[in-house]
């Protein structure tokens, strides 16, 4: 199980890391709104490895049958490895190359809000919130926790769906009952 989890977790993590680096390199061309779409699309692509890893475990290690709990465990471990790669990549990018990220993000967000006709009070509130995030992100533990929240729900969703689709016990029992 360890080899499968590490292999598929690291592949998923590499996809997340490479896509994050590319998105950050081209963030001025992509824009914030499209950057979110690119980011979450890359997460979906990366977390397909949860399905393929769980299937590989079922077919190659578990003899073609896997219970939901075991499939969930494999998927969760793959998700955690991929999330750790994502977080590690962000830590390097943020602290070494983009310590001004929140300043740029707040400015872009304020511009978008102005274009949508938001009030000065609403823009000021959002700008203050970004300043608060910037201050909080100076603490590496907060930075790690907040960054983990981005890919983890997507990975957990893929883990649940994969475990449900690939667990054979329920299907085998249903076939016997019919």
With contact defined as beta carbons under 8 Å apart, do 151 and 43 qualify? yes
SS3 content of the chain, % helix, strand, coil (to 5): 85, 0, 15
Q: Is 150 helix (H, G, I), strand (E, B) or coil?
A: coil
pLDDT tens-digit series, residues 96-134: 988 888 888 888 888 888 888 888 888 889 888 888 888
The token duo for 28 is 């001025």
Q: Is 94 helix (H, G, I), strand (E, B) or coil?
A: helix
Count of beta carbons in the 10 Å neighbourhood of residue 154: 19
Write out the H or E segment, with its range, that includes residue 62: none
Phi-psi region of 117 (alpha: psi -120 to 50; beta: other; left: phi over 0): left
Contacts (Cβ under 8 Å, ≥6 apart) of 7: 53
Could you tell me the residue ranges of all domains in the chain? Answer: 2-98+151-177
Count of beta carbons in the 10 Å neighbourhood of residue 1: 13
pLDDT string in tens for the chain (178-residue length): 899 999 999 999 999 999 999 988 887 788 777 878 888 999 999 999 999 999 999 999 988 899 999 999 999 999 999 999 999 999 999 999 888 888 888 888 888 888 888 888 888 898 888 888 888 988 999 999 999 999 999 999 999 999 999 986 544 555 555 5
Nearest to 107 by CA among 89, 123, 90, 92: 123
The token duo for 51 is 């399905």
Alpha-carbon distance of 24 to 30, in angstroms, equals: 9
Rounded to two decimals, the pTM is 0.85
């Amino acid at each position: 199980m360890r080899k499968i989890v590490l292999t598929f977790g690291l592949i998923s993590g590499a996809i997340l890391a490479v896509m994050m680096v590319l998105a950050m390199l081209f963030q001025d061309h992509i824009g914030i709104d499209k950057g979110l779409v690119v980011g979450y699309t890359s997460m979906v692509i990366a977390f397909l490895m949860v399905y393929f890893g769980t299937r590989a475990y079922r077919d190659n290690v578990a003899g073609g049958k896997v219970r939901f709990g075991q499939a969930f465990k494999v998927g969760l471990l793959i998700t955690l490895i991929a999330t750790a790669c994502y977080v590690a990549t962000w830590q390097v990018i943020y602290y070494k190359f983009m310590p001004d990220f929140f300043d740029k993000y707040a400015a872009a967000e304020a511009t978008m809000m102005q274009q949508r006709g938001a009030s000065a009070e609403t823009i000021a509130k959002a700008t203050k919130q970004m300043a608060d995030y910037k201050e909080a992100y100076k603490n590496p533990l907060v930075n790690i926790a907040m960054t983990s929240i981005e890919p983890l729900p997507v990975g957990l969703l893929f883990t649940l769906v994969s475990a449900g689709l690939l667990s054979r016990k329920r299907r085998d029992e249903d076939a016997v009952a019919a």
